[in-house]
């Protein structure tokens, strides 16, 4: 069984083509600048060096056709024809309260997805465009939607409700939804497997730390709290996002800067976080390098980030009434041992202790705790595409 996984943005489309018998990536790539000048497709077969095809991609249908053209190409392809694509798995950002699990896509599902647009105006429209383009090109191929929000639908009301007038929840669906659910679920399950215990018996805090960052409390395999909320702006400070700030600041900044609320939203989403504090870059590598050279604001940005992660670990241990595993994943969580060390330093009282030699290992699933640590700390590379492919295979193998 071969699954094509699609992650569609407004002007880009990332894909992976996965053989599910061996769970190996047969090919992967990216269509970029869709609808813009100088569009191209970058396509790689297995471990081979990717090729770049400069090609006019006026819309997502042409992009999908190009992907299929490359997958079936006699030189760069991996299959003979389209019938060897067993199913397509689509990453969808927002499923609201309608979708607490992945769904086989039909007309009804698309209609509900469209209803969710107001909750994710930037993300859901391109996701839907990608789905419709695939249905147009591959009308006979089953499609599955896998939602970033679905895993968090198990959060109890006391963690998903904001203390706002209750009517807003009813009228406007204002509540905390959480994101990165596919990743939190995947790494929590891998962590349980690595520990050799059923996930139903474990209390896990998963830290997905990348360009966007969120933390999740996974109790018995279920998300019971997470740091992102109604939008992916809440919670931790991120590359360009402020994370949680005093809500009164929105009107205050608008007044002081003489700008409207949308402009303040742009500041909070695009000019804050690591970029805002350091004044240098949103990329943690750049900022760490400057911090190493003595730049104080760069150091401060890293210190705020690590402090916030540490507080979430403590909060979620309290929320769950215990803690068995802390997992680090995504760009920063997987790759940066010094930040990992800083995030857990001071949590020894909770039973967390990491082994410096093990913490130096990169790119593999590893328990980095000391032998006698009561709480296990792990690094688990996330693999959202494989998780989407597994969900797609599960729902379409009949
Ligand atoms: P996305 O949310 O786009 O999937 P990633 O999970 O790829 O993001 O994470 C990207 C972030 O990870 C960037 O800020 C990058 O600087 C950071 N990153 C990657 N490698 C390292 C590293 N060795 N040290 C610190 N940060 C890193």
205-219 pLDDT, tens per residue?
A: 999 999 899 999 999
The answer to whether 134 and 79 are in contact (CB under 8 A) is no
Is 148 an active-site residue?
Answer: yes
Domains contained in the chain, number: 2
Q: Is residue 13 situated within a structural domain?
A: yes
Residue 10 has what pLDDT?
82
My answer on whether 347 and 206 are in the same domain is yes
With beta carbons less than 8 A apart as the criterion, state whether 345 and 356 touch: no
Query: How far lies 18's CA from each of 15, 30, 142, 280, 307, in Å?
Result: 10, 15, 15, 38, 38
Both 204 and 309 in one domain: the answer is: yes
Q: Taking residues 123-128, what's their average pLDDT?
A: 89
Cα–Cα distance, 77 to 84 (Å, whole number): 12
Inter-residue contact 66 to 116 (CB < 8 Å): no
Residue 311 has pLDDT above 90, yes or no: yes
pLDDT, mean of residues 284-309: 97
pTM: 0.94
Residue nearest atom 14 in ligand 1 by C-alpha distance: 283
Rounded mean pLDDT of the chain?
95
Residues 242, 109, single domain; the answer is: no
Q: Are 148 and 164 in contact (CB under 8 A)?
A: no
List the structure tokens of 96. 């609201």
Mean pLDDT in residue range 1-27 = 94
Whether 140 and 255 map to the same domain: the answer is: no
The residue segments making up the domain with residue 23 are 2-147
Domain CATH code at residue 325: 3.30.420.40
Is there a single domain that holds both residue 202 and residue 330?
A: yes
Q: Is the pLDDT of residue 204 over 80?
A: yes
- Do the beta carbons of residue 212 and residue 182 sit within 8 Å? no
Q: 139 — phi, psi (to 5°)?
A: -60, -25
| For residue 19, pLDDT beyond 90 | yes
Q: Quick check: 47 pLDDT over 90? A: no
The catalytically annotated residue of 21, 59, 148, 283 is 148
pLDDT digits (tens, 9 = 90+) for 249-280: 999 999 999 999 999 999 999 999 999 999 99
Mean pLDDT of 138-151: 95
Residue 216 is assigned to a structural domain of this protein:
yes
CA distances from 190 to 89, 135, 162 (A): 21, 32, 31
Residues forming a β-bridge with 25: 18
Please check whether residue 225 lies inside any domain of the structure: yes
Quick one: pLDDT band at residue 172, thresholds 50, 70, 90?
very high
Name the closest-CA residue to atom 2, ligand 1.
Answer: 211
pLDDT surpasses 90 at 88: yes
* Termini Cα distance of the chain: 12
106 and 212 in a single domain? The answer is no
Q: How far is the CA of 93 from the centre of ligand 1 (A)?
A: 20
- 332 plus 217 within the same structural domain: yes
Q: What is the mean pLDDT of residues 352-375?
A: 95
The percentage of the chain sitting over the pLDDT mark of 90, rounded to a whole number, equals 92
Distance 11 CA to ligand 1 centre (A): 21
CA 328 – CA 351 distance, rounded (Å): 17
Q: Sign of the C-alpha dihedral, residues 21, 24, 27, 28?
A: positive
109 phi and psi angles, rounded to 5 deg: -65, -45
Q: Do 100 and 222 share a structural domain? A: no
Closest approach atom of ligand 1 to CA 212: 2
Q: Are residues 143 and 211 in the same domain?
A: no
191 within 8 A of 325, measured Cβ to Cβ: yes
| Closest Cα to atom 19 of ligand 1 | 331
Q: Is 167 inside any structural domain? A: no
For ligand 1, say whether the CB of 286 is within 6 Å of any of its atoms. Answer: no
């Amino acid at each position: 069984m071969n699954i094509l996984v699609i992650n569609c943005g407004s002007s880009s489309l990332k894909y992976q083509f996965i053989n599910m018998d061996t769970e190996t990536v047969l090919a992967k790539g990216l269509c970029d600048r869709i609808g813009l000048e100088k569009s191209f497709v970058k396509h790689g077969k297995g471990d081979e060096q990717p090729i770049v095809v400069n090609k006019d991609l006026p819309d997502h249908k042409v992009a999908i056709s190009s992907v299929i053209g490359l997958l079936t190409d006699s030189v760069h392809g991996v299959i003979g024809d389209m019938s060897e694509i067993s199913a397509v798995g689509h990453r969808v950002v927002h499923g609201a309260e309608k979708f607490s699990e992945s769904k086989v896509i039909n007309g009804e599902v698309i209609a509900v997805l469209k209803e969710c647009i107001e909750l994710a105006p930037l993300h859901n429209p391109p996701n839907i465009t990608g789905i419709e383009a695939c249905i147009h090109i591959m009308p006979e191929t089953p499609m599955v939607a896998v939602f970033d929000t679905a895993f968090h639908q198990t959060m109890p009301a006391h963690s998903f409700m904001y203390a706002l007038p209750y009517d807003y929840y009813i009228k406007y669906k204002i509540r905390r939804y959480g994101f990165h659910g596919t990743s939190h679920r995947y790494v929590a399950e891998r962590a349980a497997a690595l520990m050799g215990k059923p996930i139903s018996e474990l209390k896990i805090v998963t830290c997905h730390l990348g360009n966007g960052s969120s933390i999740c409390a996974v109790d018995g395999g279920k998300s019971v709290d997470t740091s992102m909320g109604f939008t992916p702006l809440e919670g931790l400070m991120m590359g360009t996002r402020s994370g949680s700030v005093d809500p009164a600041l929105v009107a205050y900044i608008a007044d002081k800067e003489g700008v409207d609320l949308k402009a303040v939203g742009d500041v909070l989403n695009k000019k804050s976080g690591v970029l805002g504090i350091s004044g240098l870059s949103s990329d943690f590598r750049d900022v760490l390098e400057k911090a190493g050279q003595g730049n104080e604001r760069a150091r401060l940005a890293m210190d705020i980030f690590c402090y916030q992660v540490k507080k979430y670990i403590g909060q979620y241990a309290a929320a769950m009434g215990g803690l068995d595993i802390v997992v680090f994943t995504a760009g920063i969580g997987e790759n940066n041992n010094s930040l990992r060390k800083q995030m857990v330093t001071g949590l020894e009282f909770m039973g967390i202790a990491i082994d410096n030699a093990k913490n130096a290992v990169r790119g593999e699933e590893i328990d980095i705790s000391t032998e006698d640590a009561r709480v296990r700390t792990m690094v688990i590379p996330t693999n959202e595409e494989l998780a989407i492919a597994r969900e797609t295979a599960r729902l379409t193998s009949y």
